[in-house]
Structure 1
């Protein structure tokens, strides 16, 4: 078979191969690719429990999808010996089997392991058929990175078969559309030669040793190199420490000599608004946030827009698993003058969500006063539940009474923090979580694990975590009320 001539061209060590998955990684962070090739492995941090659960969930979903196919063949080779995996994959392709699971494909100095290779009728070097790649994703919507990864598989197969196939992404259906017989939707992918060539050229530079600066953003939280990049950004006082700074603006600030916090803090509005993507508000944010971070001090810019405390107040927080589409806990501190009672409406199982939602609406309907929350998610969750279970005047009344303290805080003060989440702001103000669970991701894992082991201590821990979140919200509101009035 002509494809087997590829063996004579080999001679690379596996570390010399560019990986198809690099195409996905590039869309999130170029530095991560560099560190994957050249970084010190001791600096990698292990996956957080929720990241581990997501990976396992992706594997479970993949297996569920594959079970829908008949005659699935998998190349046999010793784990880690991808050269042998490539040979075994070529043998299955030469035999013309219908579906190959996790075949190893290599061409030039690129390697890929698509989830599936599907036989298609049509002439190629293999004979009267060829193969097309399919990648199975837990995501419900395709990202550019997903498409680029499939494009890499297409390019690899074209090099092996002499014919360019199309490819597919199997994307998990949104929760409300899933059933036992409907698991995924298919999105076709074709090779965009220009985009693929440009991205591949970037990766080749990174794999050859080009080291990018660290760019700190929200995507860093799930990266194993997070700590080392953050340490370097701190040492260099990099302007990406400003929360929410777009990458293009960051790059332009560096190009214009304003890539550090001191330099950005000294910039003028006129200098900044000449940068594409920077208007008056962003220029204001860059200057003030740079000054705050550089001096490690708060800057008050306005009076907090808050009502006076009332006779009854509610501080509200929800817990959910966005990937599963379930909102499983509605927690509320109800009271006034630092005397609150914690009320919780809980869905012990996924099937109990509707009942918990109705219980929460009844509770809020009989509780007067403002309802404080931190961040946009609580309002989003209520709208999702209205869409799922029907419009409800009680929900509209609740939305009308809600006050987002994150919005109030951001309009009033600039804090010397890399983020403005509840977990960033409340500790800076001296608040401490009391339970063993202190972040939303771990809370999700505890709730998910409770579904299988029934350990009530896990559920109690989730409720205690939510109660702490509500008290953190109280802490922030009370602090905002202490700030002086600015004319």
Structure 2
């Protein structure tokens, strides 16, 4: 029997209908380390935000833990800390509500939702979460708020946002939640990027492998899967049978840029690595493999790893920054190390490193060494994507290099898990977390 639609269910719908369906029915999963970190950050942030709000408003202006209704909102509290909107369908918690001027069913005033956010900036998910609360609030005051308030980051900075088209999407999310509440069967399984941190990730992946689900292939989106379904192609094995080698013609010398999903499916079916076309890889006597780790919330790089190959000689470097202030010094040490080598070729896996170097260039005193690195940097993934088809479900470094025999010391090593390790180091100062991060970073370089 489905339960009431909670805030967790509504928020889950931003990622996955199946996740929301499971939560409606009280299914239990296993939280990832990253999800635990987000919950911990929010728990730690909430008292600081409440303290700031209490300084902004007088004690008589604040109401606490109200069950939201026309009667409770008619008491005209300037700010409501902790509200619960509950009816036959919903039981959604509000962090807070703020009274503003404007007509509504309540009178010459109305309320807009307030969100507590541990991140330092408003993300699309936060904006949408706030918009769904605004649509629910309109059920009581009969007027849609045009915006909301978010308290952000360590300093609990207050910012106002306007919803715009987010309200339309919020209304559609709530309609979908009500459909799932009435549904007798679960929605179709579709894996996506959220799966890596979802509490149902193992359950869904096992099901997808049993079904030979097309969404296992990370390059295929939902719209492409629907197009294949209209052709009665429902599994990876069926997709593999559709591959047809291209004929060599007048356009054979044009560089490949697209991914052939049918050939990828064939590689998985045959457990074979296929190479399409004639890939070229820039070479040099000195080859430098670079991998960077950063804080996605704050947006700074705290670790740069290098593996330098010059003939038979192989050298390893790790550059570490304790905080944002140390990033510039770390970057300078990176530049100085690369400058020791004559005309090196650098390699990265993905565009993260190029984006980070380009950002740090803006603060660098010496532009020419940075420009030389950017000119010599090759994103290996841009070569793999159109040419190499591994028997793996994604082109991620862990899967691709793992297919070639690479292994990581930590069994759960991943980019998201490294964020957890970094936060643990910041919180405890325990050197073992730093050691683990440096080891993981260099193993990424070795895999590359």
TM-score class, shorter: 0.7 to 0.9
Name the structure 1 match of 2:39. Answer: 55
One of 146, 151, 156 as aligned partner of 2:136: 156
Name the structure 1 match of 2:99. Answer: 119
Secondary structure in 1 matching 2:94: coil
Name the structure 2 match of 1:31. Answer: 18
TM-score (norm: length of structure 1): 0.79
1:194 and 1:437 map into 2 onto residues whose CA distance is 39
TM-score (norm: length of structure 2): 0.85
Deviations for 1:389-430, whole angstroms, at most 9, x for unmatched residues? 466111100111112222222333101111111111111111
Name the structure 2 match of 1:461. Answer: 436
- Structure ranking higher in helix proportion: 1
**1:157 Cα offset (Å):** 2.4
**1:282 Cα offset (Å):** 9.3
8 Å contact from structure 1 (residues 123, 130) kept in 2: yes
Name the structure 2 match of 1:350. Answer: 324
**1:355 Cα offset (Å):** 0.8
Gap change, CA 1:149 and 1:343, over 3 Å in 2: closer
Secondary structure in 1 matching 2:309: strand
Secondary structure in 2 matching 1:95: coil
8 Å contact from structure 1 (residues 24, 149) kept in 2: yes
Moved more, 221-230 or 205-214: 205-214
1:1-150 matches, within 5 Å, as 16-38=3-25, 40-41=27-28, 44-48=29-33, 50-69=34-53, 70-71=56-57, 73=62, 75-76=64-65, 86=67, 93-107=73-87, 109-122=89-102, 124=104, 126=106, 129-137=109-117, 138=119, 140-143=121-124, 146-150=126-130
**1:388 Cα offset (Å):** 4.0
8 Å contact from structure 1 (residues 20, 152) kept in 2: no
One of 337, 362, 369 as aligned partner of 1:363: 337
2:312 and 2:40 map into 1 onto residues whose CA distance is 43
Moved more, 353-362 or 210-219: 210-219
Moved more, 208-217 or 353-362: 208-217
Is 2:191 the partner of 1:211? no
2:411 and 2:134 map into 1 onto residues whose CA distance is 47
Return 5+ residue gaps in structure 2 as ranges: 245-254
2:96 and 2:150 map into 1 onto residues whose CA distance is 10
Name the structure 2 match of 1:286. Answer: 261
Moved more, 121-130 or 224-233: 121-130
Name the structure 1 match of 2:303. Answer: 329
Deviations for 1:313-358, whole angstroms, at most 9, x for unmatched residues? 2221111112111211111122334531212221133321111111
8 Å contact from structure 2 (residues 5, 24) kept in 1: no
**1:92 Cα offset (Å):** 5.6
Deviations for 1:275-320, whole angstroms, at most 9, x for unmatched residues? xxxxx9898612111211222222121344224562x322211111
1:120 and 1:398 map into 2 onto residues whose CA distance is 53
1:197-346 matches, within 5 Å, as 197-209=171-183, 210-267=185-242, 285-308=260-283, 310=285, 312-337=286-311, 339-346=313-320
8 Å contact from structure 2 (residues 21, 180) kept in 1: yes
Secondary structure in 2 matching 1:201: helix
2:79 and 2:151 map into 1 onto residues whose CA distance is 18
Gap change, CA 1:244 and 1:117, over 3 Å in 2: same
**1:244 Cα offset (Å):** 1.6
